[in-house]
């Protein structure tokens, strides 16, 4: 199976890239690799907001739009921006190789 890479940029500027398999969610990659700031407390149930991330502008249009449930929850996310997404709702595909997101670094 094809392996892709996704990158998380921490609030302090640290850039960390990880291998990922298409079919995984971005949240699963973060949790499997212990990415700071992605707590994923609800385990991907789209009900906690602790997997909030900011998608890099160049990627924002390349992902499927947030479903209403995600968009609704995101409106409560501390540090919400136009490019905010819940990492658990981003299911990775091969064409997402190079996807880059920022960890907001604000308390949920
Ligand atoms: Fe809870 Fe994404 S893990 S909303």
Would you say the CB of residue 53 lies under 6 angstroms from ligand 1? Answer: no
Mean pLDDT, range 6-21, rounded to an integer: 97
Confidence of residue 105 (pLDDT cuts 50, 70, 90): confident
Tens digit of each residue's pLDDT (9 = 90 or more) over 75-99: 999 999 999 999 999 999 999 999 9
Residue with the smallest CA separation from ligand 1 atom 4 is 46
Would you say the CB of residue 35 lies under 6 angstroms from ligand 1? Answer: no
Q: Is 29 in contact with 18 (CB distance < 8 Å)? A: yes
């Amino acid at each position: 199976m094809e392996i892709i890479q996704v990158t998380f940029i921490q609030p302090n500027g640290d850039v960390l890239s990880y291998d990922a398999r298409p079919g995984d969610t971005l949240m699963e990659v973060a949790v499997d690799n212990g990415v700071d700031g992605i707590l994923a407390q609800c385990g991907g149930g789209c009900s906690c907001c602790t997997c909030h991330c900011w998608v890099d502008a160049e990627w924002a249009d390349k992902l499927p739009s947030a479903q209403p449930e995600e968009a609704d929850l995101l409106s409560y996310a501390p540090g919400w921006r136009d490019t905010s997404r819940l990492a658990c709702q981003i299911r990775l595909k091969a064409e997402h190789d190079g996807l880059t997101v920022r960890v907001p670094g604000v308390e949920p």
